[in-house]
Amino acid sequence: MFIQKLALFVAGFLLILGTLFGMMLPAQAQTTSPAGQTGVISQVSRDRVTLRANDHTLSYAMPASTIVKIDGNVVGIGDLKVGMSAIVFSTDGKTATEVRAYTQHTTTTTKPTTEPTTQPANGQTGVISQVSRDRVTIQANSHTFSYAMPASTIVKVDGKVVGIGDLKVGMSAIVFSTDGKAATEVRAYTQHTTTTTQPTTQPTNGQTGVISQVRGDGITIQTSNHSLSYAVPPSTVVKVDGNPASIGDLKVGMSALVFSTDGKTATEVRAYTPHTTTNK
C-alpha cells in the first residue's frame, strides 16, 4: 500500500512539473524579437518583397498577417516602392512578420541628424552612361568609371534624397568614393548643372547626353528627359576622345557634349567612345 501511494505522489509531482515547464516555453519564445534585415527594396509583388543588402538579395513572403509601415504609418504592401530603404523582420528568414520602409534614406538609426561638414573624398564628375540595381557607370572625358552602389550609398537628384532607381542615363553626376570602387554618395542633376564651372573660353549652351541617332547632316542625343536634334554643317568642330574627327566617326551609344549658340545647329561636338575600364 505504501509503495502505491509513493508512486501516485511521484506521478502527480512529475505531472505538475511538466505543466509548469510547458508554460515557460511559450513565455520564453515571446521574449525574443524577430531579426531585422536592413537594405533597399529592389522588387515588390502582391505577396513578396525583395531586399538588396550590400552584396546579397533577400526575398521574403508577405502573407496577410505581415505588418507594413512607411515612415511609421501602417499601410498595405501595395504602398511599398522600389528604391525605398527598409527593415524586414522575420522569425524564420523566409516570411516577413513586419516591414518598416522609409521614403527617405534613413534606415539606420545611428545616422547623424545633420550632414557632415566635410565632403566625401574623391569626387568624380561625369555623365551617367549606365545604371543597374547595384551599380552606376559614368562617362568622364575619355574614361568610363564604374562604381558599386551598396544599400548605404546616399543618392540625391537635384539635392533631394532618392533611390538608385531615380538615376537616369544622361544625367550629370558627381560620384564620391573613399576607395574608388564603391560609391558613398551620388549627386545627380536633371540639368547639366554640376558644381564645376565651365571655362569662359568654352562655347555657350553645352548639352550633355548619349547619341541616339546619326544622320548625314545632323545628330540626335538623348538626355535624362528629352531627345534633342542638332544640325551638323561642315563648319562644326567634331572631336572623338579629344581627337579631330568628322560626323561619320560619331556612333550611336557614344556620350557627347554638344555646343550650340542657337539650340539648333551644333558649333562643336565632343564625343567619347564607351570604354569599359573600371577604377583601380
Sketch the domain layout of the chain as residue ranges.
Answer: 35-102, 123-189, 206-272
Same fold, 35-102 and 123-189: yes
Please state, for a pLDDT cut of 90, what percent of the chain lies above it: 25
CA angle 179, 121, 187 (to 5 degrees): 100
Confidence of residue 71 (pLDDT cuts 50, 70, 90): confident
pLDDT value of position 84: 84
For the record, the C-alpha cell of 124 comes out as: 568624380
State the average pLDDT over residues 169-186. Answer: 87
What pLDDT, in 10s, does the model give residues 81-97?
888 888 899 998 899 99
Cα 127 to its chain centre, rounded Å, is 16
Report pLDDT for 23.
58
φ, ψ of residue 166 in degrees (nearest 5): -85, -10
Q: Any idea which architecture 35-102 has in CATH? A: Beta Barrel (2.40)
The confidence band for 242, taking pLDDT boundaries of 50, 70 and 90, is: confident
Identify the helix (H) or strand (E) that includes residue 131.
strand 123-132
pLDDT band at 275 (very low <50, low <70, confident <90, very high): low
At residue 146, the pLDDT reads 92
- 137 or 223, greater pLDDT: 137
pLDDT digit string, tens, across residues 103-127: 754 334 444 444 443 444 457 878 8
Choosing among 2.40.70.10, 3.40.109.10, 2.40.50.320, 3.40.50.880, the CATH entry for 123-189 is 2.40.50.320
Q: Out of 53-57, 217-221, 267-271, which region has the weakest mean confidence (pLDDT)?
A: 53-57
The secondary element (H helix, E strand) that includes residue 20 is helix 2-31
Neighbours of 54 (CB within 10 A): 13
Say yes or no to pLDDT of 207 above 80.
Answer: yes
pTM of the model: 0.33
Cell numbers given for 138: 559614368
Has domain 206-272 been given CATH number 2.40.50.320?
yes
Q: What does the mean pLDDT of the chain come to?
A: 78
| Confidence (pLDDT) at 191 | 55
CA distances from 115 to 102, 104, 119, 154 (A): 18, 14, 9, 11
Is pLDDT larger for residue 180 or for residue 31? 180
How far apart (Å, rounded) are the C-alpha atoms in residues 27 and 18? 15
Residue 46 pLDDT: 87
Q: Which of 30-34, 59-63, 122-126 has the lowest mean pLDDT?
A: 30-34
